[in-house]
Chains A and B, each alone.
Chain A
């Protein structure tokens, strides 16, 4: 049986190595958490106050989704 240690060892690719990569990852994860329970089922789960005429729940999540897309586009522009 070949042990795992005999393989070439690479630094983990799960942890971003560049500053821009770290910023994009952290901001994306924080924003994504805002679109997940418990935030969705406690803080955002209400009709009022409306935002630009839209229900609170719908508008907040729309804002979060657009921001998440913005993070992806920022990362692409920065070459992350």
Chain B
């Protein structure tokens, strides 16, 4: 049997299993908005763990990180810093967000921020930032999926058709089973992608070099330029290292598809255990991708598109069945992020826009069906975004990595009681100033003074938010007492 048949067939098997999980989740679902959008706030440790790590790691971790090691060398090992930081953020901030969500019934990040800052302007701004900066990831993941299936089929299935089929499958199980379906498929996807990348990397390192240690020695001897920072192309400067650490930790976990997961934990102990152990999976996934990328730089030194190094090595050196299993793992990596973003955008649009401003006071069943209709709309938008190239999108994608990072001052103001806090005017002014700064430092003058644009924007954001907050009205004493008092009780067990 030809290798492309086996590879495509295994991806098909994986898709059928994902659809089956969606159907089973549908049978367990009750007509309840919290159940559809938040898994009924009952996610236990294993399910929550696997959905968080699978959502965090996308097609980029599977294919892109190998490409980074291939092109820029060992500097990408900086990935350990931001993955460890994700755990610490979850441990410290995630537990507080969970406690407030449970106490006050928050469903979206905007719920929490609008409640504390007593502002519909904050709600709308956060919802817009959330959707704008994550809907673009639908395009990134969907394009990645189309590419994977195109490679697996040896070019027989077009990228456009592959994109549509995989988007439709993700949308189908999301509409059927809501977040429960996303979580169950993420469990499958999280395990599959982890095993696939490790097995693939170890197979290739033994096949090509005689083992991982021999691979390291070969790279040291033949390409020492890949083994130092800032790397052959000078990318990993100190400024870039710090910038990527901040933007790919805070900037990712403050995106709605990650923050909404915090609300779903069954208890605080689960959240803390999640924070303490999440980096094990997240960081260790970059160990095999380093082997693939650096080994690929020796075995296939002239690849046009570095992100293709993993599939190219597999097709040249691995048996068809193994290539199929691993490419199905790459599909899982992309789909687990894609379905989470589809769900998060559906939740924000249903909760923060439709339920709030268009049709308040309707039944839970009504909102569930509206949510499903929104998924269909997102499916269409995602497909169009991934099959057409719009000039302005290139700019927006450049901005998107640092967009959610700009919610940091507002979130810290809610989650960390103290003698002073930000005000709604301060938060809105900081957010607006940071968007302008993002454009200037990521698009007009990238890496200005060697510092990542996300960091520049965050500086400006904090400065403007603090300055404006000093002269504007604070949240009411009643709200501060309610929200910060809840955190004081949750963290320290005291009233004040």
User: Are A37 and B238 touching (Cβ within 8 A)?
Assistant: yes
User: Are B418 and A10 touching (Cβ within 8 A)?
Assistant: yes
* Cβ-based interface call for B273 (8 A): yes
Specify which of A17, A45, A54, A76 is in contact with B276 (CB 8 Å cutoff).
A76
Give the chain A neighbours of B241 by CB distance below 8 A. 36-37, 40-41
User: Are A35 and B80 touching (Cβ within 8 A)?
Assistant: yes
Q: For residue A79, give the distance in angstroms from its CB to the closest CB of chain B.
A: 8
* Cβ-based interface call for B480 (8 A): yes
Ordered by A's residue number, 8 sampled pairs between the chains whose C-beta atoms are within 8 Å are A10-B496, A32-B85, A40-B229, A41-B241, A58-B290, A69-B276, A69-B283, A73-B277
User: Are A2 and B84 touching (Cβ within 8 A)?
Assistant: no
- What 13 new A-B contacts, CB under 8 Å, besides A37-B242, A76-B272? A2-B474, A8-B496, A10-B418, A10-B419, A12-B416, A12-B417, A38-B238, A41-B229, A41-B230, A45-B228, A58-B290, A62-B80, A73-B276
Q: For residue A5, give the distance in angstroms from its CB to the closest CB of chain B.
A: 9
Question: Which positions 207-242 of chain B face chain A at CB distance < 8 Å?
Answer: 213, 216-217, 220, 224, 227-230, 237-238, 241-242
Give the chain B neighbours of A62 by CB distance below 8 A. 80
* Cβ-based interface call for B279 (8 A): yes
User: Are B477 and A65 touching (Cβ within 8 A)?
Assistant: no
* Cβ-based interface call for B15 (8 A): no
A41-B228 Cα distance, complex, nearest whole Å: 9
Q: For residue A36, give the distance in angstroms from its CB to the closest CB of chain B.
A: 7
User: Are B81 and A36 touching (Cβ within 8 A)?
Assistant: yes
Given the known interface contacts A36-B245, A58-B77, the answer about A12 and B421 at a Cβ–Cβ threshold of 8 Å is no
User: Are B80 and A65 touching (Cβ within 8 A)?
Assistant: yes
Given the known interface contacts A36-B81, A55-B74, the answer about A72 and B227 at a Cβ–Cβ threshold of 8 Å is no
A46-B77 Cα distance, complex, nearest whole Å: 14
* Cβ-based interface call for B491 (8 A): yes
Residue of B nearest to A53 (CB): B213
User: Are A14 and B87 touching (Cβ within 8 A)?
Assistant: no
Question: Which positions 453-496 of chain B face chain A at CB distance < 8 Å?
Answer: 471-477, 480-481, 484-485, 487-488, 491-492, 496
Question: Which positions 47-65 of chain A face chain B at CB distance < 8 Å?
Answer: 47, 53-55, 57-58, 61-62, 64-65
A35-B153 Cα distance, complex, nearest whole Å: 41
* Cβ-based interface call for B36 (8 A): no
User: Are B496 and A13 touching (Cβ within 8 A)?
Assistant: no
* 8 pairs of A and B residues whose beta carbons are closest in the complex: A37-B238, A10-B417, A76-B276, A65-B80, A72-B276, A12-B418, A13-B416, A53-B213
* Cβ-based interface call for A7 (8 A): yes
Give the chain A neighbours of B224 by CB distance below 8 A. 47
Specify which of A7, A10, A54, A68 is in contact with B84 (CB 8 Å cutoff).
A68
Question: Which positions 400-429 of chain B face chain A at CB distance < 8 Å?
Answer: 415-421
User: Are A17 and B80 touching (Cβ within 8 A)?
Assistant: no
Given the known interface contacts A40-B229, A58-B74, A58-B77, the answer about A75 and B276 at a Cβ–Cβ threshold of 8 Å is yes
Q: For residue A60, give the distance in angstroms from its CB to the closest CB of chain B.
A: 10
User: Are A7 and B474 touching (Cβ within 8 A)?
Assistant: yes
Q: For residue A20, give the distance in angstroms from its CB to the closest CB of chain B.
A: 13
User: Are B477 and A8 touching (Cβ within 8 A)?
Assistant: yes
Specify which of B220, B472, B476 is in contact with A47 (CB 8 Å cutoff).
B220
Q: For residue A38, give the distance in angstroms from its CB to the closest CB of chain B.
A: 7
Q: For residue A25, give the distance in angstroms from its CB to the closest CB of chain B.
A: 9
Q: Mark A1-43, 1 if CB is under 8 A from B, else 0.
A: 1111011111111100100000000001000100111101100
Q: For residue B107, give the distance in angstroms from its CB to the closest CB of chain A.
A: 24
Give the chain A neighbours of B487 by CB distance below 8 A. 13
* Cβ-based interface call for B16 (8 A): no
A76-B91 Cα distance, complex, nearest whole Å: 9
A57-B230 Cα distance, complex, nearest whole Å: 12
User: Are B88 and A28 touching (Cβ within 8 A)?
Assistant: yes
A69-B83 Cα distance, complex, nearest whole Å: 10
User: Are B484 and A8 touching (Cβ within 8 A)?
Assistant: yes
A4-B230 Cα distance, complex, nearest whole Å: 46
Q: For residue A53, give the distance in angstroms from its CB to the closest CB of chain B.
A: 5
A68-B485 Cα distance, complex, nearest whole Å: 31
Specify which of B83, B275, B420 is in contact with A4 (CB 8 Å cutoff).
B420
* Cβ-based interface call for B280 (8 A): yes
A40-B198 Cα distance, complex, nearest whole Å: 26
A65-B484 Cα distance, complex, nearest whole Å: 33
User: Are A65 and B283 touching (Cβ within 8 A)?
Assistant: yes
A6-B279 Cα distance, complex, nearest whole Å: 41
User: Are A69 and B84 touching (Cβ within 8 A)?
Assistant: yes
User: Are A45 and B229 touching (Cβ within 8 A)?
Assistant: yes
Q: For residue B293, give the distance in angstroms from its CB to the closest CB of chain A.
A: 13
Specify which of A13, A41, A61 is in contact with B417 (CB 8 Å cutoff).
A13
